[in-house]
A and B are shown apart, each in its own frame.
Chain A
Amino acid sequence: MTDKYISKDGLNGLIASVKASGGRFVAPVLDTRQVVYKEVSSAEEIVDDYILPRNSYKEIAFPQTEILAKYELTRDGVTIDPVEIVARDTVVFGARPCEAASLASLNSVFTWDFIDETFTKRQEKVVVLSLGCVDADDECFCTTVNLSPASTEGSDVALYETENGYIVTPLTDKGTAFVSAHSDSFTDVAKGEEKKELVNPEKVEGVDLTKLGERLAKSPNYDNPEWAELTRKCCGCGACTYSCPTCHCFDIIDEGTAFEGERRKNWDACQFNHFTLHASGHNPRDTQYKRYRNRFMCKFHIYPTKFNSTGCVGCGRCIRVCPVRLDITDLMTAMSS
């Protein structure tokens, strides 16, 4: 399919068209003084001068909390009823190209051998409209992890900003189907319509992903005292994991009484002491540096080698939200040497 065009005003037509077909339109909006991905009903709500929304849109396919089943104990016995997975057609408008790669990474965890349908059923319904970045900040490091503001990995439709609108490039079958289904909202690209120049964030000096991966795979480096030194200021709040688009850890808990309640799947974080605490009191990750090391290993060793997917997309959220300014790229540099 050839490129199409949509003006910023024309987005209202697209939003209406998506809603009319029963879908949700999610875009970056200003909410409690932060830019976040949220469902919108008009183009006026959408902000366009953002670097990256505060939250990751992984929550569309992997909600912060969801009910898996409801249980009930009565005189007649026990019932446990699975809750139907509600998956709505969802359009993510303005996803950054770095983050677009993340759902595929999560998919690789949620589908190896056992298929977690609570994720896959929702992911199938997500159409990602990525928007090439014309601006970046000091925390952006996509180019360091071999992505860039022009990346299309995981994106269904690539959008490129022009003076008054967007040039629309369908990338996948899903993306083509989306543009066709809402064809009234798009026009052909007018002559002279020019893409704004994409930004090119500098690579973090000294990071070598291959060396980093090789180093993490070797046991003596695992026990290197450097880990404790470099991560000493980590306070274990877990903010990095919650904002990370590829962090997948979760908990399964019951909420309710012994008579009725719900079984839930909730986000969890490998940065907490109780996360791996055995009932016996033994804890394999009993200090914070071991927990930090686990997350770092997950991004740069486990995801790439075990799941053959991108562990870290370089969005920089973990750096922006960190209360103690622990910078993952500092660790990447140190571990590359």
Chain B
Amino acid sequence: MSNIYIPDLVTIEDIYEETPDIRSFRLVFKDEKLRESFEFKTGQFGLYSAFGLGESTFCIASSPTRKGYIQCTYRKTGRVTNALGELSIGDTMGFRGPYGNHFPIEEWKGKNIVFIAGGIALPPVRSVIWNILDRREDFGDVTIVYGAKTVEDLVYKEELKHWDERPDVKLIQTVDPGGETPEWQGEVGFVPTVLEEAKVPAENTIAVVCGPPIMIKFCLNALGTLGFSDDAVYTTLENKMKCGVGKCGRCNVGDIYICKEGPVYTATEIKAMFDDF
């Protein structure tokens, strides 16, 4: 066995500027064998290296149904992410992973799915969305509720357009009050409110929620009001991580190590945790 902290090298094949401070990379492994053999499950994450500055943790935003590459989306906000922001197409960076558990989508076959995401939290949900859309016939209705502070802060604008045009997807977009533009066609309001007003039926439906802690909290309440049971509501948690493999001591919530036993949890599991995230 080799040293578990050594990343593999990946090449930036493409860059998408999502917002002024959020960008996505399409990454391919330099090692051809690894490019073929690499597998992950929807909801898993990795550690991405900017050499000289260190590693940062992001989810894998692409779907395992799309092989040969991985996509990540991050906000330029700290040392490592700012350094990643300087990289160009063709540059090399490091990747370790995949780590953590995943969304149990095989158990969701035949069910309706509602996705609820806020701001930079669409990337982890995107992996599940594409996974399900790529096997569309296995699932029931697909609803996506996505919001951001302003129109400018919405990520994956091209894909939002695509999902909006698809007859088999219901997309509800919203921006916080004051974040709209004169051309804005979507809703204005906070995600939990918009979710409740959309009256998504809870019957035979799985909800996937991802966003800042405060949004998750209010969305869980809204879903409760709509009649969702806590076992039908999934979210993916985030905590600072340095190792990704349950050793460095940062991400634990009580005795639960998010990096190893998470990051995906049901609302039932979340409510049983200590209030430490």
- Cα A78 to Cα B12 in complex, Å, equals 13
- Cα A85 to Cα B4 in complex, Å, equals 12
Q: Give chain B nearest CB distance to A106 CB in angstroms.
A: 10
Interface centre among B4, B51, B213, B272 (most CB of A within 10 A): B51
- Is A80 a contact of B4 with CB atoms below 8 Å? no
- Is A268 a contact of B51 with CB atoms below 8 Å? no
Q: Give chain A nearest CB distance to B240 CB in angstroms.
A: 5
- Is A279 a contact of B81 with CB atoms below 8 Å? yes
Interface positions, chain B 101-149, Cβ under 8 Å from A, are none
Number of B residues with CB within 8 Å of any CB on chain A: 46
A265-B5, A276-B239 given as contacts; is B276 within 8 A of A252 (CB)? no
Interface positions, chain A 56-111, Cβ under 8 Å from B, are 68-69, 71, 73, 77-78, 80, 82, 85, 109-110
- Is B274 a contact of A282 with CB atoms below 8 Å? no
- Is A305 a contact of B255 with CB atoms below 8 Å? yes
- Cα A39 to Cα B250 in complex, Å, equals 32
A222-B274, A258-B83 given as contacts; is B1 within 8 A of A115 (CB)? yes
Residue of chain B at shortest CB distance from A112: B246
Interface centre among B75, B83, B212, B249 (most CB of A within 10 A): B249
- Is B52 a contact of A250 with CB atoms below 8 Å? no
Residue B233 at the A interface, CB < 8 A?
no
- Is A257 a contact of B242 with CB atoms below 8 Å? no
Residues of B contacting A261 with CB < 8 Å? 51-52
Residue A184 at the B interface, CB < 8 A?
no
The contact size tier of chain A is 35 or more
Interface centre among A248, A253, A284, A285 (most CB of B within 10 A): A284
Residues of B contacting A279 with CB < 8 Å? 56, 75, 77-78, 81
- Is A270 a contact of B249 with CB atoms below 8 Å? yes
- Is A118 a contact of B3 with CB atoms below 8 Å? yes
Residue B247 at the A interface, CB < 8 A?
yes
Option from A114, A257, A278 in Cβ contact (under 8 Å) with B238: A278
Residues of A contacting B274 with CB < 8 Å? 219, 222
Q: Give chain B nearest CB distance to A120 CB in angstroms.
A: 10
Q: Give chain A nearest CB distance to B87 CB in angstroms.
A: 10
- Cα A250 to Cα B260 in complex, Å, equals 16
Q: Mark A113-130, 1 if CB is under 8 A from B, else 0.
A: 111111000000000000
30 contacts between A and B (CB under 8 A): A68-B3, A68-B5, A69-B5, A73-B51, A77-B92, A78-B9, A78-B51, A78-B92, A80-B7, A80-B9, A113-B245, A114-B245, A116-B5, A117-B4, A219-B275, A248-B247, A249-B250, A254-B54, A258-B53, A277-B240, A278-B238, A280-B77, A284-B276, A284-B277, A290-B276, A294-B252, A297-B254, A297-B255, A298-B249, A305-B255
A-side interface residues toward B, CB under 8 Å?
A: 68-69, 71, 73, 77-78, 80, 82, 85, 109-110, 112-118, 219, 222-223, 248-254, 256-259, 261, 263, 265, 268, 270, 275-280, 282, 284-285, 290, 294, 297-298, 301-302, 305-306
Known: A80-B94, A280-B212. 5 other contacts (CB 8 A): A73-B92, A116-B245, A279-B77, A298-B252, A302-B254
